[in-house]
Structures are given as structure tokens and as C-alpha cells.
Chains A and B, each alone.
Chain A
Amino acid sequence: MDENKVIICRCEDVTLKEIRNAIREGFTTVEEIKRVTRSGMGPCQGKTCGLLIAKEISQMTGKPMEELELQNIRPPYGGITFEEVTKGTITENNK
């Protein structure tokens, strides 16, 4: 299998090779791998790659899936415009 041709994160175009390299370098949580590879930072927020990365970590480190966590998820869940954010702030300050 050509690891360079297997895409794990479709949003950020991260390959299996990059994920495996990261794990070999000692990044063994989904959150760490997200930070070093950008996987899971795209529009789908890790819905495609999260489980695949967890499985890869589990296979390479021998840690069972039950002991692994997915990446952190914080609000907001989807994109919002800066206008919406700033509008809110201005109103607040003017109160």
C-alpha cells in the first residue's frame, strides 16, 4: 500500500504517511496529531479522520480504543461571520 496515496483527512489533505510519521515521532493522541498535522481542522471538524486516526494510534501503540479520546471540540460548531461576532461585542460595549 502506498501510504502517500491514502488520504486520512480530506479537508486538510493529510495522508496516512503523515499520520504514521507523527505517531512514530511520539504524538499519540488525536488532539496532538490534530495540532501537528492540521488533520481535523477543516470544515468537517474531524468527522472523517477522527476515528481513522484513533484506530491508527491504537494499532501502532497497542493502546485499546477505549483508552483513546477524540480531539477536543469547542464552540462554535460551524462557521460564523466576523460581522456577527463584532456586532455582538459593540452592542455589549455600548450598553
Chain B
Amino acid sequence: MSKIENLELLVVGGGPAGLSAALAAANYGIKVSLAEEREFLGGQLIKQTHRFFGSEKEYAGTRGIDILRKLIDEVNKNKNIEVLLSSRVLGIYEDNVVTILNDHKMKKYYPQSIIFATGASEKFLAFENNDLPGIFGAGAVQTLMNVYGVLPATNVLMIGSGNIGLIVSYQLLQAGVKVAAIVEAAPKIGGYSVHASKLRRLGVPILTSHTIKKAIGKEKVEGAVICELDSNWNEVKDTEQLIKCDAICLSVGLTPLVDLLKQRKVKTNYVSELGGYVPLRDENMETSIKNLFVAGDVSGIEEATAAMIEGQIAGLSVAKRIGKNNKREIEKRIEDAKNELELLRSGPVGKKIRKGLFKLGLNHGKNYNENFSEEALDISHLMKTGVPSEENLKNKLPSEEKVFDKGPIAISECFQRFPCDPCVKSCPFNAISENGNINNIPYVDFEKCTGCGICVSKCPGLAMFVVHKNFSETTSVVIMPYEFLPRPHRGEIVKVLDREGKYLCDGKVIRILDGKFQDKTAAVSIEIPKEYYLQARNFKVEE
């Protein structure tokens, strides 16, 4: 039998967590072998064309695909990392021998330590005819569109309003596909409100407290029957309605891919907040088996930013244990990474994660600052509909109407506490602040704001606008972010829409900023009748 190769560190999975883990360890001299089952690196990042939330330190405001490029670049440059592509890890045995299938050969390895960054798989849903062709997982739809350039359908019904459901819906629209509706069984939207608002401004209905009953169609999906749910998640009588569509996209959550861990008999617990059966592990990402670490979604479903930091912690922990030098420096970096993670998870949207981690016996050393764990504003209406309430808006607009007289000013329509700061970091005048905690809602200091519009292109949630009320006697100008093709021409008349995607008025395009700096989120200035300056928040380019 072929000989067994000794390794210092084997990282399984070439997604954000695995790449970060490999880099963190390799930078301290550890020899790393990174096994990825596909023929390319990247994991889910490869299809994430949207900008990331999170802190700027961890690439927030950058598109997933660009983050990936940076990571791959670093990995390829690093002499301590050997990348094994098209290499599926087939087994891990009790003596820690790992078998990898590469080039149709099963090779044996004996790593000193392993980091499993195997990610997650999509959950499936039980409903009638759920095996009809045309029923996709959201990940599949995203892969088809964004990796292979193939349109999945012409009119999609999205099931699930978590961030994936919302983001994939938006990307479907960008690709020219109609989204019939987004159906959500819970009474409130699962993902970030800014993503939901983006879709509502494009006229996509979001139906909370609704579920899919069955798919309709002979050879393939031709529609779906949905119905309303009451507060006990029971079907409300006589609320069935038929939605026409040619595809149903399921985005009902992810679950950690623990198959390899289970081979090695790593202990797992069912923790619904973290997506399903998750491995027990400590704060340094080490499982119940010594020298066997986890990072990213396999350790509990979270965002890619958290996955990258967890990867760093796991990689650094390995470096600290088997490396020869720099132990103190590594310890400091682990501490920093833990603090960063804690900050990311400290807001209201991190509540679920915190609860899940607590069930695993983890609190990351400290108690979270509960000041940031509640919403600052009542956003119940926003989270039900995707549209901010009058009350919400009032809170973010200038308290005095005359502030609008001074000239163009930035209006932030971000109402939910979640860890994100590109608007703050992008402002050259320090006019946007979130009071020292990345989880706070950003507020604009209208005294300092010059209405330059930089933030309009930088906000990953497309929630920044610039309003110039007194552009002329009778007109105002609103600068809006725009990520669709074709781009409007200067001088063109466009249909201006409100926050629910309803037609308001015609508007004239007077300026388009669409250079390298805007990075495909154009800032378009539209002149509109003055009475609409507080309502106009989107526009449609007529074909």
C-alpha cells in the first residue's frame, strides 16, 4: 500500500474559514496542506457578488468575490501552503490517518493537526411535489448564475427571507429574472432589514407568516400554492393562493456539514440556533478530539466574516501549539481575534448566535455588553414588511426642516443594529458615526456632512442617499445607489419609485458617478419635483 505522508497541518475546505486558517498558521512557519474537493478555491465566496457587512478590518464593504481574490493571492504567494485541488477528503480514522482522493488515487496522510472548515449544506423542505424539476436550493441558483452564467428560470418564487434568500433574490433581479415573491413562515423577516428594503424598493413582495403548501406542475414547476400562518404556525383557513412561477428557490437555512467529524466520533449537540448538529468545541476552536479543530459554518452557521476570524483563531492555535517561536505574539493575536468576534456578535442580530454558543458552554471569556443587545428603535413594522415606519424615518431625518436648506445632505436609512461600518469609515468628513460600537445604528451629523455622496456607493446595504431639497425653485435632487444594467444616460427620464417600489413621478438623470471608486454601485443623481424629496428612493430605467 502507498506510503503515509506526514503533515504538520491539514486544512480541509478552501472557503473563507479554511483559507484564513491556512494563512494564519502558515504565517507562523507551519507547513500547511489545504485540501479542497472542487477544482477551485473559494467555497461560497466564489458566488458572492454583493458587498460584505462586518468591520472594515475584515473586508466589510468589499464584494465577496474580491475578498476571495485577495485571500487566494495570499495563499498562492505563501510558500508554506500546499494547495490540493480536486482533493476530496474521504475518511478520517481513529488513529487520525486521513485519506484523500486525488487524481483517482486514494492517498494516506498523517497530520499532526487538522482544521475542518467543511462549511454547511442547505436544508430541505417537506411539501407536496417537492421533487418537481425547477425546485432549487438557493446555493444552486447562485452557483448557476454567478459562477456559470446560467439563468435558472424566468420567474422565481423564493422561500425564506434570511440573508441568503434576500441576497439571492436581489441577484436574480440583477440577472434579469423576475422574483414573484419572497415567502417567510416566521412573523418577521430573517435577514438584515437593509437587504429587505432593497427588494421592496424594487417592488418585490415579502410575505411574512406565509408558507408554501405545494408545488404545481406536470413536467416541471408551473406555480406554487402558498397560505397564511397564524401565530402558532398553523394554516389560516381559506388563505390559499396560487403564485405563478417557473422555479421555486428554497432558502430555508443551512446546517453544519459534520460528516467527517462524525467519522472521527467528534461529539456533536443539536443546537437549533447554530443550524443543527454542531461539534462541541472550545474557545480556540478545538473539538473533543485533541489537535482536531473546526472553523466557519461547520462549527455553527454564521456569516463569512465570522468564519474568517474563526479560521484565524484555529490556525493561530495550531501555530501556537506546534510552532517553535512567537508564542506570546500569537497569543496576543488570538486574543485580538476573539475580541473582534465578540464585537461582531454583540448586537441584537448576534443574539441567536450568542444563545447557541452559550448552549455549547461557550461565552468567549466575557459577558457580552447587553447595552447593544436590544434594538435602538422599534423596527417591528420594518421587519414585518421591509419598509421603514414613519416613526423610524423621523428618527433619522434632520430634526429641523431648515437643515435641508443648507444644501445636499446624506440621509441614512439604516435602522437595525448589526455589525457594519463602511459608511462610517468611508466619510472623509467624519460626519457619520455609530458612537464607538460597530453594532450601533449610524447617524449623520448634518453640520459636518457636505453631501458629497461617497457613502452612497459604499454602503453594502444601499441605505445611504443624498438629498438636495432646494436644487431649484421647484425641484429636488436625490442621489441614489444603483446596481442594475443598463445604466441610465445623463438627461434620461426615468420612473422614480418610493420605498415600496411604487411609481411616484418621472425624474431626470443629471449625473452618474460610476467609476472605479464606485465599484459597480453607481451613484445616480435624479432631479424630481420638490414634493417627493422624502419619498423618492429608487428608479427604473425604461427598456
Contact = CB atoms under 8 A, between A and B. Distances in A.
A6 B104 CA distance: 37
A1 B128 contact: yes
Contacts of A80: 90, 101, 106
Contacts of B213: 1
B105 to A, nearest CB: 7
B126 A75 contact: no
A52 B270 CA distance: 13
A51 to B, nearest CB: 6
Interface in A59-95: 65-66, 68-70, 72-78, 80-81, 84-85, 88-89, 91-92, 95
B259 A10 contact: no
Interface string A41-57: 00001011101101000
A6 B132 CA distance: 10
B259 A45 contact: yes
Contacts of A81: 104
Nearest to A89: B1
B99 A88 contact: no
A33 interface: no
Contacts of B92: 75
A65 B89 contact: no
Nearest to B125: A52
Contacts of A48: 124
A71 B121 CA distance: 16
B255 interface: yes
Contacts of B123: 51
B104 A77 contact: no
Nearest to A1: B128
B89 A77 contact: yes
The interface centre, meaning the residue of B88, B124, B255 with most chain A CB atoms within 10 A of its CB, is B124
B124 A77 contact: no
Interface string B46-65: 00000000000000000000
A7 interface: yes
A5 B127 CA distance: 8
A84 B104 contact: yes
A73 B106 contact: no
B203 to A, nearest CB: 32
Nearest to B253: A51
B426 to A, nearest CB: 40
Contact of B263 (A74, A78, A84, A88): A74
Given A5-B128, A8-B126, A47-B257, A78 B101 contact: yes
Contacts of B255: 51
B124 A75 contact: no
A80 B37 CA distance: 14
A2 B104 CA distance: 44
Contacts of B257: 47
B260 interface: yes
B404 interface: no
Interface string B86-122: 0011111100000101001110000000000000010
A84 B105 contact: yes
B489 to A, nearest CB: 48
Given A75-B93, A76-B91, A80-B106, A16 B99 contact: no
Contact of B90 (A70, A76, A91): A76
Contacts of B101: 76, 78, 80, 84
Interface string B386-398: 0000000000000
The 4 closest A-B pairs by CB, nearest first: A75-B91, A76-B90, A7-B131, A73-B262
Interface of A: 1-2, 5-8, 10, 13, 16, 45, 47-49, 51-52, 54, 65-66, 68-70, 72-78, 80-81, 84-85, 88-89, 91-92, 95
